[in-house]
Amino acid sequence: MLALLSAATWVQAAPQAGVVTHLSGPLFVKKLDGSLRVLGEQSLVEVGDTLSTQGKGYAQVRLRDDSLLTLQPGTVLSVDAFAYDVNVPGADAAVFTLKHGGLRSDGGLLGKRSQDRSTLMTPRGRIDLQSASVEVYYQPTAGVATRASSRVKSLAMGLAASAGHADDSYSAVVAAVSARYVYRLANVLASVESWAAQGKASLAAVVQKATSVLPPGLYVHVLDGQINLTNGGGTQGFKAGQFGFTSSVREPPAVLPKNPGIAFNPPPVFSQSMGPQGSTASASKSNDVDCEVR
């Protein structure tokens, strides 16, 4: 019994990283044990949590060093590590992984005293956040499935193999002929899938042009301070007012001449807590109610 109680205490003792301060829609969390929960304002966020915003909802988390993470709709972010103690600067650590979507990070006390220990990992590179205020957006590449032709081709290979191991000539002939026609079917399906992929690509281009969807890749916009973006292509620093982009983990990050179309528009009540980098117009309306649920 004592062993079970000790184990239960250990499971519940996940380090606290921060607290949810604002919500404008549903926010889900996947815990380390695989369980799923719905978070509300003042809910605790722990190390190991994977946060997910849904629909058109934004979510804001204030971490223990007073830094802020503001997640835009359709974002998945994991809290991989977070340690901050006023008296133990050597243990500072903040590591997050942006798996999909976008966020704004406003640096806090940890980033100011340990600038090399606040990191945002993404599929396209590592961002050294330091104590900057930065918007980050990751648009993944849409994959085209070719499962049908692959599976049919595997079936053909199996039939061809069985023809070589058949016990009698009749079975061998049947298997060989079947394999030949299945191979042909696989080639036809591959051609159809290729045409469909080209059609989807053309349609995606039209939709992208009509809806101003950003091309796949990683985008950054530094609002205050500076950051470093590192991937297989090298390291690039970005300062306040600059936009950056990389399309793959091997392409060197590059400074963009202007905003490529990044839009980050949380409700006004969120902007009020972002400090001097927030909207001044929003801050002047501190008594306005953005959303009230009864």
Q: Where are the beta strands (DSSP E) in the chain?
A: 16-23, 27-30, 36-39, 44-46, 50-53, 59-63, 68-71, 76-83, 93-106, 118-122, 125-128, 133-139, 217-224, 226-231, 234-239, 243-246, 254-256
pLDDT at 54: 87
Query: Tokens 């079975």 identify what position?
Result: 171
pLDDT top residue among 143 and 76: 76
Q: What is the pLDDT of residues 168-178, one digit of tens each?
A: 666 666 666 66
Enumerate residues 6+ apart whose C-beta is below 8 A from 281. Answer: none
Q: What is the mean pLDDT of residues 27-38?
A: 94
Specify the DSSP element, H or E, that contains 11.
helix 2-12
pLDDT at 274: 74
Q: What is the mean pLDDT of residues 117-140?
A: 95
Domain ranges of the chain: 13-140+216-283, 147-211
Cβ distance 76 to 55 under 8 Å? no
Encoded tokens for 31:
């815990």
pLDDT at 69: 97
Encoded tokens for 169:
């000539």
pLDDT at 204: 42
User: Per CATH, the architecture of 13-140+216-283 is what?
Assistant: Sandwich (2.60)
Q: What is the mean pLDDT of the chain?
A: 80
Q: In the chain, pLDDT over 70 holds for what percent of residues?
A: 64
How many whole angstroms separate alpha carbon 50 and alpha carbon 99? 10
Q: What is the pLDDT of residues 81-121, one digit of tens each?
A: 999 999 999 999 999 999 999 999 999 999 999 989 999 99
Provide the total of helices (H) and of strands (E) in the chain, helices listed first.
6, 17
pLDDT at 269: 87
Task: State how far Cα 180 lies from the chain centre.
Answer: 44
Q: DSSP assignment, residue 102?
A: E
pLDDT category of residue 45 using cuts at 50, 70 and 90: very high
pLDDT at 103: 97
Q: DSSP assignment, residue 216?
A: S
Q: What is the mean pLDDT of residues 231-253?
A: 96
- For residue 148, the tally of other CB atoms under 10 A from its CB is 14
Task: State how far Cα 175 lies from the chain centre.
Answer: 47
Query: Tokens 């000539």 identify what position?
Result: 169
Cβ distance 27 to 20 under 8 Å? yes
pLDDT at 162: 60
How many whole angstroms separate alpha carbon 111 and alpha carbon 89? 11
pLDDT exceeds 90 at position 222: yes
Q: Is 211 helix (H, G, I), strand (E, B) or coil?
A: helix
How many whole angstroms separate alpha carbon 61 and alpha carbon 11? 23
Q: What is the mean pLDDT of residues 267-272?
A: 84
